[in-house]
Every structure is written in C-alpha cells, then in structure tokens.
Amino acid sequence: MSKVLMKGNEALGEAAIRAGCVHFFGYPITPQTEIPEYLCKRLPEVGGVFLQAESEVAAIHMVYGAAGAGVKCMTSSSSPGISLMAEGMSYLAACELPCVVINMMRAGPGLGGILPAQSDYFQATRGHGHGDYQCIVLAPASVQEAVDLMTLAFDLAEKYRNPVMVCADGMIGQMMEPVEFRSEGRGPPMAGNDWALTGCEGRPRRIVNSLHLAPEQNFAYNVRLKEKYDRAAREEVRFELYGDGRPDVLVVAFGTMARISKSAIDDLRREGRRVALFRPITLNPWPYAQCRAAMDAMPEGAKVLDVEMSMGQMIYDVKLAAEGTRTIEFLGKAGGLVPSPDEVAARIRALLP
C-alpha cells in the first residue's frame, strides 16, 4: 500500500476507522483538535457517529454508554481533558468495557501550556481515577507507529475488555509524516460482545455495573481484575532496543523523547561510541524484565540515562527495573521545552567512560 503524507492527529483519526471504530465522542482541546476535526468529516462517509460532547466528562461517559452497548468507540483529549475523564476511566475499567482513549499530552500542571510534554506519565500509568484499576498504555514514537498502534489498541481493548490509552504528545499529533495504512476502508466491528447491552429479546437480561457492596464480593472482583492485568503484563509487553548490544550508556526514553534520543545515539555511534536506547512501547504493562536484561548486558560501571519531557516520572519505573543494580541518571525538561538531540548527546558524552 502506498504512503500518504498526513498530520499525526489526522492519521490517528483515519487509523481508528481502519481499526473499525466508527463511534467518536470528544471535546476540543489543543493539541489534539485535528482528531475530532478530521473525524467529523470522515465518519459520516463510513456511516459512523461523530459527536462533540459538552465536556470531557460527558465524552468519556458517552464512550461508557457506547462501549456498554457493544460498539468499538473512542475519545481523544489532552492533559487537562484527561483529568476530567478520570471518573469515566475508572467506571469503564470497573465495568470491563473496551474503548480507546488518545492522550496528546501537553505541558502542565494546571492549564500549563499547549506545547508537547510527557508530564502525564504518572496519570497514564498509575491510574487516572479511583480504585485498583489499570489501563493498558501504548506510546508511539512516530506517526506511522501511532497509526499501527491504533489497531493494536482496539484489539487489546477487546481482548482484555479494558480501556486502552494511546499516549502520545503534541509533537506526534502535529507532525506531518508519510504513513502507510495496512488495511483498506472501515475495519471490522467489535467481535464477541456477548456481554453488551443490546436489549434482552431472546436472551437473559444483562447488567453493566460496578457496584459491589459486599466487601468479599468486591475483593473477589478486584482479584479478577488484577489477574487480567497480570495476564496483560505477561503477554502484552512491547519495547524496542536500539543500538549497541553492550553499551556504555543506555538511554531509556519513550515517545518523542525516544525519537530525539535516537538521533543523538546515531551521531555518537558514528563516532564509534557504544550507546543504546531502550524504548518502552507499552508504558503499562512496563517492560521491566526486558529493560533489566538490557542493563545486565552492559559492562561494569556503564550508565543508564533516563530522558523525559517531564521533571522525572518514568524514571521510577526505570529504577524499579534496575532494582538498585545501577544508578539512574536523569535528563528532563518540562513546560513545553524538549531536550534537543545535542543536549541529549552532550549528556551521554559526559557519562561515557
């Protein structure tokens, strides 16, 4: 299939349709607004539903209603909007309803700014709302990968009956890149939704509910959810290891920051330096064992550098992976500033033997 030049946000909108999602509910916020603006034109062409909600709160509960009625559905937003969706995310996870939520992260806290950031890593991976629930989180580093991960996101949402977040940043949303869609036209509808509320004609009635007043019953429910998250941790971990197999410096970064780090690593490798990148693609489940293996392959005294567009959030997972075997260095900028390839390279250089 040939490549087309598309803005990241629009490509994500198209990717959703190719994945079979034709129900979109969302509220405008920079830097993701091109997603709804694209879908409001495209969805009617494929017999889909586009609805501009009155708020992110409403949007995520519309997703709850549509997902509960058994259709592939999604919303997209950016940081402050995701905060408002926290309640709905908890209910969706609690009721085991599949859906996809795109987060084009922008700088925070508060109103923050509209420039790209990765400051909502905690929010994405540690739960947005209340309760012992988790969300599968996918972090693309290019427009092409964002498109590919959309199909995976809907597949995982259905497989685990759980919300899946595609967590990118404004850079990926705004950037124009050639992309290839791996399938034509509107993708397949949700399969195996024999739990969905569709009217009980000819079958026993169904209930979508997260109220479990008896503590034993609620505990059992939590245990069941945890087993599901543990299964995802066993089966769905995705990552990329790039560069030298026995590096003197291992950079750990995700999304846009991984991409920038890669070009720093390329420059250094051209100079004959031994450097590598470990890039988690699933931010939850996090590839702890795989990252640890990459660390263990390093020579004695080699350094690990965590690079983020935040004040340091993923670094806690890198530390968990290291389990005290290495000290983890940090380079980060927030507020909409992004460490440049030169800055990353300079920092790596300082850590090289």
Binding site for other proteins (CB under 8 A): 23, 25, 49, 51, 53-55, 57-59, 61-71, 73, 87-88, 91, 197-202, 205-211
Please, what is the minimum distance in Å from the beta carbon of residue 211 to other proteins?
A: 6
| Nearer of residues 59 and 233 to other proteins, judged by Cβ | 59
| Nearer of residues 100 and 302 to other proteins, judged by Cβ | 100
Residue identified by tokens 């062409």 is 45
Please, what is the minimum distance in Å from the beta carbon of residue 205 to other proteins?
A: 5
Closest by CA position to 31, among listed 150, 113, 121: 113
Closest by CA position to 65, among listed 102, 92, 36: 92
Residues 57 and 87 sit within 8 Å (Cβ to Cβ): yes
Please, what is the minimum distance in Å from the beta carbon of residue 70 to other proteins?
A: 7
| Beta strand pairing call for 73-77 and 99-105 | parallel
| Nearer of residues 25 and 254 to other proteins, judged by Cβ | 25
Please, what is the minimum distance in Å from the beta carbon of residue 78 to other proteins?
A: 20
Please, what is the minimum distance in Å from the beta carbon of residue 293 to other proteins?
A: 42
| Nearer of residues 185 and 199 to other proteins, judged by Cβ | 199
| Nearer of residues 54 and 180 to other proteins, judged by Cβ | 54
Please, what is the minimum distance in Å from the beta carbon of residue 98 to other proteins?
A: 13
Residues 241 and 277 sit within 8 Å (Cβ to Cβ): yes
The partner residues of 4 in beta bridges, in order of sequence, read: 179
Tokens for 246? 């026995």
Q: State the sign of the Cα–Cα–Cα–Cα dihedral 304, 310, 312, 316.
A: negative
Closest by CA position to 94, among listed 207, 17, 186: 207
Tokens for 248? 């003197």
| Nearer of residues 108 and 129 to other proteins, judged by Cβ | 129
Q: Report whether the peptide linkage leading into residue 287 is cis, meaning its omega lies within 30 degrees of zero.
A: no
Q: CA-CA distances (angstroms) from residue 100 to 64, 113, 171, 248? A: 11, 24, 20, 38
